[in-house]
Amino acid sequence: MEQILTLAANNLLSPIILSFALGVAAALARSDLSVPEAAAKALSIYLLFAIGFKGGVSVSAHGIDAKLGLTLLAGVILSAALPMVAFGLLNVMTKLSRLDAAAVAAHYGSISIVTFVAATSVLESSGIAAEGYMVAVAAAMEAPAILSALWLISRGGDGRRMDSDLWREILLNGSIVLLVGAFFIGWATGEEGLAEISSFVVAPFKGVLCLFLLDMGLVAGRGLRGRSGALSPGVLAFGLLMPVVGSMFGLGAGLLLGLSTGGVALMMVLSASASYIAVPAAMRVALPEANPSIYLTLSLGVTFPFNLTLGIPLYVAFATALTGA
């Protein structure tokens, strides 16, 4: 317990979390502080490239083992199964309609790549190694949850169609293409490639992450300020409980697969995080009647800050304690 509290305290006082807190505070105080849209996009491109590249280099250094395929499969199963758990919890804890509950559930099966990036940064700072291919697992966990949500809706007699354009948008969205592409570049070029561009992808990483999270804080704060009325106490409680429940599924999968401490922690983070980019876009197309104020505010305004501040240190501490590292 002491270890968890120490890790949580260290995490809360890191420049990364304090930058996020500054963004939230500025938005709640109605400051005009803002990060230009194009700059925020550039920061996210940098982070996705760097994290994908470093993951590929790590795989090239350590080689591929049988666990890679199994971990990818586990990620896909978790992504498909967690919406069922979320849907069940929402039915018990809230009065959301079937449509809204399914849309929210989809977000909790998919992942937040920014939470994943922040978690890898915390692991690096703590000197905890993780399997490089967890980047690929993150990419594989984006889409299955959307299918689960549509299946949940179709069980209620309301069949929804996924058109080919939507499939393409989900599977080839820019974040996935960049993350997986950079992963393969890192894998192909290995340590030599990293040495060539390390001054770009390694040294500035945390500083860029600080600026990006400042922007995310501003967005989350504005969302909370403008849309918090959309969340009932039950929905709010779900947004705090579901990441912990999801992380336990990730913990079980990570331990069963025999992942390293960092790998288990990242599997927990992936299972705990909720999407706020890919899934909202898919839900607007496939389930336009579902209320975006609920699912966006919940995933970005409640679960994302929770994971960033308390969740990540909690998951890392659990993974450390249970893998005996």
Partner 1 sequence: MQTHQAKRVEITIEAIMQSRLSEALIKAGVTGFTVLPVLGGSGRSGAWVRAGEIGRASGMVQVICIVRAENVDKLIEAAFSVVERHIGVVSIVDCEVLRAERF
d(CA 278, CA 237): 23
Establish if 219 lies at the interface with partner 1 (CB under 8 A): yes
Q: Which is nearer to partner 1, 85 or 296 (CB)?
A: 296
d(CA 49, CA 66): 26
Q: Per CB under 8 A, which of residues 141..180 are in contact with partner 1?
A: 165
d(CA 317, CA 325): 10
Distance of CA 111 to the CA centre of its chain: 4
Residues touching partner 1, count (CB under 8 A): 26
d(CA 47, CA 38): 14
In 164-201, which positions are buried (b, 16+ CB within 10 angstroms) versus exposed (e)? eeeeeebeebebbebbbebbebbbebeeebbeeeeeeb
Q: Which is nearer to partner 1, 118 or 317 (CB)?
A: 118
H-only helix segments in the chain: 2-12, 15-28, 37-62, 66-93, 98-109, 113-125, 134-140, 144-155, 164-171, 174-201, 205-227, 233-257, 261-272, 278-286, 292-296, 304-306, 312-323
Q: Per CB under 8 A, which of residues 223..262 are in contact with partner 1?
A: 223, 226-227, 230
Establish if 139 lies at the interface with partner 1 (CB under 8 A): no
Per-residue contact string for residues 28-57; x = within reach of partner 1 by CB under 8 A: ------x--x--------------------
Q: Which is nearer to partner 1, 167 or 200 (CB)?
A: 167
Residue among 142, 129, 131 nearest 83 (CA): 142
HSE-CB of 81 using CA atoms within 13 angstroms: 13
Establish if 218 lies at the interface with partner 1 (CB under 8 A): yes
Establish if 126 lies at the interface with partner 1 (CB under 8 A): no
Q: Are 193 and 56 in contact (CB under 8 A)?
A: no
Q: Which of residues 280, 305, 311, 313 is near partner 1 by CB under 8 A? A: 280
Establish if 20 lies at the interface with partner 1 (CB under 8 A): no
Q: Per CB under 8 A, which of residues 181..210 are in contact with partner 1?
A: none
Q: Which of residues 129, 184, 285, 309 is near partner 1 by CB under 8 A? A: 285
DSSP state of 297: I
Q: Which of residues 57, 267, 283, 317 is near partner 1 by CB under 8 A? A: 283
Cβ 214 to partner 1 shortest distance, Å: 13
Q: Which of residues 43, 149, 210, 300 is near partner 1 by CB under 8 A? A: 300
Q: Which is nearer to partner 1, 15 or 288 (CB)?
A: 288
Q: Which residue has the tokens 């890191």?
A: 14
Residue among 106, 108, 87 nearest 98 (CA): 87
Establish if 216 lies at the interface with partner 1 (CB under 8 A): yes
Q: Taking contact as CB under 8 A, which single stretch among the options 119-127, 203-211, 218-226, 255-263 is the one that binds partner 1? A: 218-226
Q: Which is nearer to partner 1, 34 or 189 (CB)?
A: 34
Write out the residues near partner 1 by the rule CB under 8 A. 34, 37, 165, 216, 218-219, 222-223, 226-227, 230, 276-278, 280-281, 283-285, 288-289, 291-293, 296, 300
